[in-house]
Amino acid sequence: MINSLETMFEWIDEMDDSYHKIPIASVDLSGKEMEYVADALNSTWISSRGPYLNLFEEMLANLTGSEGAVATANGTVAIHLILAAARIGPGDEVIIPDLTYVATANAVRYCGATPVIVDVEPDTWCLDPQMVRDALTSRTRAILPVDLYGHPANTPAIRSALADSGALVIEDAAEAWGARYFDRPVGCLADAATFSFFGNKTVTTGEGGAVVTSNADLLTRMQLLRNQGQDPDRRYFHSEIGYNYRLTNVAAAIGVAQLERVERILGLRSRIVERYRDNLSSCRKLSLQPIAAWAEPSPWLFNVILGDGARSRDEVVGKMAQAGIETRPFFVPLTQLPMYGAEAARSMGGTPVARALGERGLSLPTYNRLSLTEVDRVCEVLLESV
Ligand SMILES: *Cc1c(COP(=O)(O)O)cnc(C)c1O
């Protein structure tokens, strides 16, 4: 029986010691998270109103160079919320990349719209602007570039590919808090951007998400739809079918503590990523995640692609697990999932880049408190396993 948090933490520490296990991700609540959560609980504002929520949204907007932010229950509903606010529905097409977490595609289907799945570029692993241009039709209402594994999509190029088609660009930046296109942060590059604050993301609230935008109409509509479509001036008058997609003040308290020290969090993770690069860049059996000349990626997860002469990914994963090191295979491309397999990829010749990455990609442990000694150990075991 776990009768206090302290007992539980001791128990977890013991487990770590005995297994020397290096997990793929680990949550760091070493800032003011506990203090702010206790404060939120003491205030009794534990549902979806309260000062931490207001502050969290303000910080999200400021840090992304956006006019406003709408915090949500998770990152998946953040995508659904912005699509619903833009009135995207049946008959509409939304262009998305083949290589992403399934939430991107599911949110499009929640609206009854059609996901149009195209390939990613080899040099960013993100939506290919030329393929977006080729996939445009008179029904295209939105493009959803995903900043995969922290590397920003070339959103400005995608915007110019649209010319005057009128389609919206909504960036799924769930994995890319703090990433930049030249000196501009993701969040202000598209018509709107969404984030996830799940436990393994760079900034976390446990479960949580947000949409940021500078479009006042979309902002107002998202606030309405997030709150069951209730008229802000008339209680229990609901002008349309909305959703309960609200975040709690308790979760926002965690978020405020995280954002207060986000530069430090990014700094810690950048050191880890650099160490991985230094240790692994000369291995001929591996290639590392590319970085475009204009990009400053967010240090979310460090990734390698197993190249010619390497063992199979399953073998590498197994060998590393035996040494107590957790790794993570890449997302399975959408077109290889049963729900999306039938969606013929529009890009000529299918989605070979996404398929190759999906088959050979592996993510390595990346979290704030991973020491450089542990990074060296992961690399040593990887180089033996590959
Ligand atoms: C994490 C993630 C989401 C949203 O996930 P939630 O678990 O719902 O917060 C959406 N898209 C991508 C690419 C993600 O990695």
Residue-wise pLDDT for 196-229, tens only, equals 999 999 999 999 999 999 999 999 999 999 999 9
Residue 243's identity, in one-letter code, is: Y
- Rounded to the nearest angstrom, the distance between the alpha carbon of 78 and the centre of ligand 1 is 9
Atom of ligand 1 nearest to the CA of 196: 9
Closest Cα to residue 119, out of 89, 153, 91?
153
Is residue 42 scored above 50 in pLDDT?
yes
Dist CA 171 CA 169 (whole Å): 6
Atom of ligand 1 nearest to the CA of 148: 13
What is the average pLDDT across 113-125? 96
Q: Does residue 76's CB lie within 6 angstroms of at least one atom of ligand 1? A: yes
Q: Does residue 230's CB lie within 6 angstroms of at least one atom of ligand 1? A: no
Q: Does residue 146's CB lie within 6 angstroms of at least one atom of ligand 1? A: yes
Confidence of residue 8 (pLDDT cuts 50, 70, 90): low
Q: Which region among 40-49, 235-244, 247-256, 338-347 has the lowest average model confidence (pLDDT)? A: 338-347
Q: The whole model's pTM is what? A: 0.94
Contacts of 74 (CB under 8 A, 6+ apart): 196, 197, 198, 207, 208, 209
Q: Is 378 helix (H, G, I), strand (E, B) or coil?
A: helix
Paired with 211 in beta bridges are 70, 194
Mutation choice for ligand 1 from 96, 175, 254, 301, CB with most ligand atoms inside 8 A: 175
- Rounded to the nearest angstrom, the distance between the alpha carbon of 175 and the centre of ligand 1 is 7
Mutation choice for ligand 1 from 106, 149, 172, CB with most ligand atoms inside 8 A: 172
Closest Cα to residue 189, out of 32, 91, 296, 93?
296
Contact 209, 72 (CB under 8 A): yes
Secondary structure letter of residue 348 according to DSSP: T
Mutation choice for ligand 1 from 24, 72, 76, CB with most ligand atoms inside 8 A: 76
Protein residue whose Cα sits closest to atom 5 of ligand 1: 75
Neighbours of 133 (CB within 10 A): 17
Q: Which region among 175-189, 206-220, 310-324, 332-346 has the lowest average model confidence (pLDDT)? A: 332-346
Contact 215, 43 (CB under 8 A): no
Q: Does residue 174's CB lie within 6 angstroms of at least one atom of ligand 1? A: yes
What's the chain's average pLDDT? 94
